[in-house]
Each structure stands twice: as C-alpha cells, then as structure tokens.
Homo-oligomer: A and B are copies of this chain.
Amino acid sequence: MNEEGFLYERISRRLLEQIGAGSYAVGQKLPSVRHLSRLFQVSVNTVMQSYRQLEAEGYLEIRPQSGAYVRHCDVHDVPEPDGSRYPLLPVEVSLSEEVLHYMELHVMPHQVRLGIALPGVEVMPVERVTQTIREVARHYPQETWDYMHPHGFPQFTHHLARRSLSYDVPVVPDDIIVTGGAMEGLSLALRSVSRPGDAVAVESPTYYGTLLLLKTHQRRVVEIPTHPRHGISLSALERVFAERGVSACIVSANAQNPLGFTMSLERKQALSALARRYQIPLIENDVWGDTVYEEGALPVKAFDDDGWVLYCNSFSKTLMPGLRIGWAAPGRFQRRFLELKQLSTITSTSLSQIVMGRLLESGFYAQHIRDLRGTLQRQVEATAREVRAAFPPGTRLTRPTGGCVLWVRLPGRVNAVALFEKAAREGIHVFPGGVFSLDNKHSDYLRLNAGGPVTGAVVEALRWLGRATSELAGGCVME
C-alpha cells in the first residue's frame, strides 16, 4: 500500500479539492464516470467506488440515469492531519491523569452535558430495561446471586456470537469473555499482548482514556496520523509495523471517538491484513460500532482469519452505562486474557449479563439500536447547525458517520482548556481536545457531545460557547 492510499480515495480527494475550491457549486453536475475513468486511467468500478464514498459522506447525490450532483461543499471540515507532526517514533505519554477530573463534571447536578461522549438518558428505553431488571431479579435469583462463569451467561454470549453471522470470520461463544465494560476489555487486551516499556500504535486523535491507559501501564505511544473521514493512515502504520516499532495497535474503525469516521470495508480488510502479515496484535475498540448511522457496519474483527484482532465492545454507549457490561473476543490471546480477567475482577456482574441476554433474545436491543441510530444522527446534525450558526468564522467541524460527538476546531488558536474552564463555571460541561493526542496537536479543538435532545438549554449553551470562543480569540478569528 503506498503513501497515497487506495486509488478511489485519491480520486475522491481530487474531486473534493475542486469542490472545496468552488470549481463545482452545490447542485452542479460532476464529470461522468466514463470521463473520469479515462482521465485517471482507472476502471469504471474504481470511479464508482469514489462516487459512492463521496455520497456516503454527504458531499454528492447520485441520481439514477442522470449522474452525480454536488450536494454539499462545506469548507468547515476539520483539516487533514499534518504529516510533519508525526515522526512515527515512540514517546512517553505526556498527559496527566488530571484529565480524568474533566470527566467528573458529568455526574454533577445542573450541568448542560456536552462533555462525556454518551447518548442522553432522555433518548433511552429506561422503562423497558428497568422492567427487565425487575423480571430477572424475580425469575433468576440463583443465577444473579453467585459468581458467573468467567465465559459469561450462555444466553448472553450466544446472542453476542450470533451478531457476527455476517462476518467473514464469525465469532463463536467460546471466543467470548464478558468484561465490566469496554474499558476493562481494553486494559486486559493491552496487558495480554504487551509489557511495560513496549510501544503501542494509536490513532491521533484518539480517546483520551486509551492514552492514559497506556501511560498507567508504562507503555510508550506511536501516534499514527488519522484522517477525519478515512481513519488511521495505513501506510504510516505499515511503516511502523515493518520496522517492528510497536508490539500492538489500538484502533476504532466505526464511528471513531472523537472524529466520528467509519472506515471503509476495504480499509478494514487492509488493516486486518496488516496485523496478520506483520503478526502484530490489533486491539479493536468497537464501543461505537452499533451507532454507525448506516446499518450493518462491520468491525475489523469481521476479517480476522488468524486471530490477531482483540475485539472489545460494551453496552455503555448504546444502552446503559450503569450496567457496566461489555465483552471481548481476544482471538489467539484468549487464554491469557481470561487469566488476567479472573485476576482483575474475577467475573462480571451476573444480573447485567442476564438482563442483556434477555434484551438480545427478544430482539428488543436490535430494534432499539435501529431507533437510536436515527435519533443520534438527527441530534448530531441539529447540533452541528447550531455550532455553525453560533461559533465565530473559521470554526471547523467533523461530519460524523455515527456516534454522538462533534470534533470542533476553534479559530484563532483558542486554547480549549481555557474554554472548558470558563464553561464549567457556567454549568456547561465540554471536553477540551488537547487530551486526545500528545504534544498539543489538538489544543485548539473541542469535543461536543450531541447525545441528548437539542433543547433550549443546549442551544443557549452552544450560543454561550460561541460567544466565549469569540472573546478568547480576540480579533483573530480569521483562517
């Protein structure tokens, strides 16, 4: 794989450059597939792939029997990563665990909750799930009482396995280990495949919890530049793999936090193939996988035919964080993972496993995430509109393909920690972007949670944040 990525992506990039530069305005027709195929010396299929990608990303609309039309030419998109800031060498994690205290506002009363990445309880089926908890407590007193088998409650793990029916390489119940949320899964996976002093590759930006996890386990980090729409740079990752520079890689391929991208199938396959070719374990955090707006997103694990992917997921983002229930499919590292699990928390909460088993069995969970995806997409789009209206010129933001966060670059190099602190005093909880990477690469970014309905209070808060950003930027709000 060369530095330029896939052929169709190169074509997409060129088209986007032209659209962004105004060569094709909204509503105008793009060149025909046949024309571009000749121009780029590629097959018609490759051009079609590029057009389909741009359609999925919302840039154009393909009208049957007619052609491709520009639908969107948003120059507010966050910039692509600056390769010069990525030396691809291991460094110590310079973040302080202090950032964990940024989380605490979330559980304080009277906050506008734009901080933690989480769907709001308002959009969740609280009544149905608590009803199920009551039923399970009534009908399974013995099973909820004792330690659960470390492999988990069979009705639960069997349904988890069935969800992988469409994978190239399905997961079977015996592959699965139940964890106390995805964070425990990541921690155990990391410890299963690496030792203190080792280096681990991560997306940049990535979930701050991943960086802190690496720090507390004395792992060094190689940051891999990550495209806001396509995901981790496979060419940069391959370079690092080829040099044996890391002992593992942690990725999110679906609705990544904070960027909101979903990797294409081809990229997911290629990523799985890289892990296999270089025999380097891939820890996949798929905690947002079920929230990808387009149905049926597959994880990298779907292509893991040699067991190099340690898959981690939970129900904290898609259903109920308080259940503290997740699961892992650690591939060839399953035995080691299980041992570490037993020595960390022995087994996971029995009641939560039985409750999830029933919600999966009845089909309720599947229906719920279909609804949730639509709800989150509407909320994210509404929040993005408010941000565009409320924040000063020069503000740029992502267009997520799943999940419920927006990644916002503030104009005029505004320090997002200053904004965080100002906002906290107003009862508004946001998350500063600097903690999602090292060396201040994203200190002028902000992550906004759009997990709740866009109420009047949320609109007010976004307007307040826009004004505060203007003030912090002084006059310097030009690009």
A residues within 8 Å of B by Cβ? 97, 100, 103-104, 106-107, 116, 118, 121, 124, 126-127, 129-131, 133-134, 137-138, 141-150, 180-181, 183-184, 187, 191, 195-196, 209, 212-213, 216, 218, 316, 320-324, 338-340, 342-352
| Chain A, interface SS category | helix
B residues less than 8 Å from A195 (CB atoms): 196, 218
Q: Are B148 and A107 in contact (CB under 8 A)?
A: yes
Copies of the polypeptide in the assembly: 2
A149 to B116, CA, bound (A): 13
Closest to A187 in B: B344
Contact among B126, B147, B218, B321 for A147, CB-based, below 8 A: B321
- CB distance B344 to A324 under 8 Å? no
Judge whether A187 and B146 touch: CB under 8 Å: no
**15 contacting pairs across A/B (C-beta < 8 A):** A107-B147, A107-B148, A121-B142, A126-B142, A126-B145, A144-B322, A148-B322, A184-B344, A191-B216, A209-B346, A213-B343, A324-B347, A324-B349, A344-B344, A351-B352
Contact A344 B138 (CB under 8 A): no
Residues of B contacting A124 in the complex (Cβ-Cβ under 8 angstroms)? 145
Measured between beta carbons, the chain B residues less than 8 angstroms from A340 are 216
A216 to chain B: closest residue by CB = B343
A346 touches B145 (CB 8 A): no
Shortest Cβ distance from A120 into B: residue: B146
Chain B residues whose C-beta falls within 8 Å of the C-beta of A322 in the assembled complex: 143-148, 349-351
CB distance from A28 to the nearest CB of B (A): 47
Chain B residue at minimal CB-CB distance from A182: B346
Q: Please report the C-alpha to C-alpha distance between residue A184 and residue B124 in the assembled complex, in whole angstroms.
A: 30
**Measured between alpha carbons, how far is A118 from B347 in the docked complex, in Å?**
15
Q: Which residues of B contact A348 (CB under 8 A)?
A: 180, 324
A313 CB, nearest partner CB in chain B, Å? 15
Residue A146 contacts which of B107, B142, B212, B342 (CB distance < 8 angstroms)?
B107
The answer for the CA separation of A218 and B134 in the assembled complex, in Å, is 43
Task: Contacts A104-B150, A213-B343, A324-B347 known; list 5 others, CB within 8 Å.
Answer: A104-B149, A144-B322, A147-B316, A196-B218, A209-B346
On chain B, the residues within 8 Å of A131 by CB distance are 137
The 3 closest A-B pairs by CB, nearest first: A322-B350, A97-B339, A133-B137
Known: A130-B138, A134-B134, A216-B339. Contact between A183 and B324, CB under 8 A? Answer: no
